[in-house]
Amino acid sequence: MYESDVINEESERTAFRKAEKKYKIYYDNTKKKKVPKPVDTSEVVDFSSILDKYNCNGEVGEGVSVLKCDFDRPVFCLDSRPGFYFIPGALSVEEQCHWIRESLLSFPQPPNRTNHNAMYGPIEDLFISAEEGKVLVSEERPLDRVDLETIVSKSDPGWKFVEESNRKNACNSVSASVLLRKLRWSTLGLQFDWSKRNYNVSLPHKKIPDALCQLAKRMAGPAMPCGEEFQPEAAIVNYFGIGDMLGGHLDDMEKDWSKPIVSMSLGCKAIFLLGEKSREHLPIAMFLRSGDVVLMAGEARECFHGVPRIFTDAENAEISHLESQFSDLPYLDYIRTSRININIRQVY
Ligand code: SIN
């Protein structure tokens, strides 16, 4: 996962890394405004076009097949990557809006952890505070007797949201809007410990919300072993802003790889790289759009994968369908230049 964003010299030369470099964003320094250099996407597999073609004449093209199952939409497979399934447009526009809202409003709420925990401890109401223009401040408190007895002052620096006008009284401060832009992940259900790369069942946690469980169970269906039902126990929500990428990695900390990871895309279009067991193999690049669902089970669980690029410009983001649905401007403002990925796992 994120640890693999750290790229050493040797991995710089692998086929996977070369593909990451091919698709990552580079800016044209000759222009005054930050303009991304054009990227050649002619080799990127486009399942939306494949779906259109399939709906039109029943053909899918070389290397792609349609899974025979009773899912209510076509489920595509790649012949060279058994256990990988792509369901274009699996989520309705209403579902996409709902899960974007939840990802911003509810999922980062404690006891769920986020990347901000390490620095600030649990933060409540990040999205609302950003909307209200609030600022997270730490007030250095003199050690009083209670502090000394409970030794809380060192471990609890007392970060809290205040009005911008109160910022001047604080020793340290950071705007909620900055923190929202720097939100990189939140974890639901069993909490993933990034430092140890495993699930820490002793960390306080809430169950994954029932509606998300039901959705994940339904989506997982095409990839599940016959007669078994997917049991969502943990989810990682990834937030991507302008220029963000997710380096090649494996999701291998779950016990039973016959169960899929259910991965849902929301917001701006992205390029997803699906490699093989080694980074030495050339990955397949494909577009991920808002509403697409990917399942990775069995052999595909052993494949390196990552997201080298998201498209945040109006022309390429392909989120116009969300514009009319969000009556609440702050969500639309966020998602116009962001992507959210919710990936749901059965851990045991
Ligand atoms: C992941 O592989 O963990 C996330 C993939 C995605 O963002 O689509």
CATH number of the domain bearing residue 332: 2.60.120.590
Same domain, 160 and 269: no
Does the annotation place 251 within a ligand binding site?
yes
pLDDT at 150: 45
Considering only CA atoms, give the Rg of the chain. 21
Torsion sign across C-alpha atoms 88, 92, 94, 99? negative
Q: How far is the CA of 123 from the centre of ligand 1 (A)?
A: 24
As a whole number of angstroms, the distance between CA 73 and CA 18 comes to 34
- Residue span of the structural domain in which 149 resides: 117-181
Residue 238 Cβ inside 6 Å of ligand 1? The answer reads: yes
As a whole number of angstroms, the distance between CA 289 and CA 207 comes to 28
Residue 99 Cβ inside 6 Å of ligand 1? The answer reads: no
Same domain, 139 and 263: no
Decide if 3 is inside a domain.
Answer: no
**229 and 255 in contact (C-beta within 8 Å)?**
no
Decide if 291 is inside a domain.
Answer: yes
**DSSP E strand stretches across 7-46:** 27-28, 35-36
Same domain, 64 and 162: no
Q: Mutate which of 238, 268, 284, 310 to test ligand 1's pocket (most atoms within 8 Å of Cβ)? A: 238
What pTM, to 2 d.p., does this model score? 0.92
As a whole number of angstroms, the distance between CA 245 and CA 191 comes to 22
Same domain, 43 and 65: yes
Same domain, 159 and 189: no
CA angle 110, 243, 320 (to 5 degrees): 85
Report which ligand 1 atom has the smallest distance to the Cα of 240. Answer: 7
Which one-letter DSSP state was computed for residue 191? P
Does the annotation place 205 within a ligand binding site?
no
Does the annotation place 193 within a ligand binding site?
no
Same domain, 36 and 94: yes
- The total domain count for the chain is 2
β partners of residue 138: 159, 172
Same domain, 80 and 213: yes
pLDDT profile of the chain (348 residues), mean per 10: 54 92 92 88 98 97 96 97 98 97 98 96 97 89 47 58 87 94 97 88 94 98 96 97 96 92 98 98 98 97 97 96 89 97 97
As a whole number of angstroms, the distance between CA 248 and CA 279 comes to 8
Last residue of a domain, one of 166, 181, 196: 181
pLDDT at 328: 83
Same domain, 54 and 37: yes
Same domain, 168 and 188: no
Same domain, 86 and 215: yes
Q: Mutate which of 20, 186, 219, 246 to test ligand 1's pocket (most atoms within 8 Å of Cβ)? A: 246
Decide if 258 is inside a domain.
Answer: yes
Same domain, 214 and 331: yes
Sheet architecture: strand order including 135-138: 159-162, 135-138, 172-175
Residue 173 Cβ inside 6 Å of ligand 1? The answer reads: no
Decide if 2 is inside a domain.
Answer: no
pLDDT at 145: 47
pLDDT at 9: 67
Same domain, 100 and 123: no
Decide if 4 is inside a domain.
Answer: no
pLDDT at 7: 56
pLDDT at 3: 44
Residue 342 Cβ inside 6 Å of ligand 1? The answer reads: no
Residue 246 Cβ inside 6 Å of ligand 1? The answer reads: yes
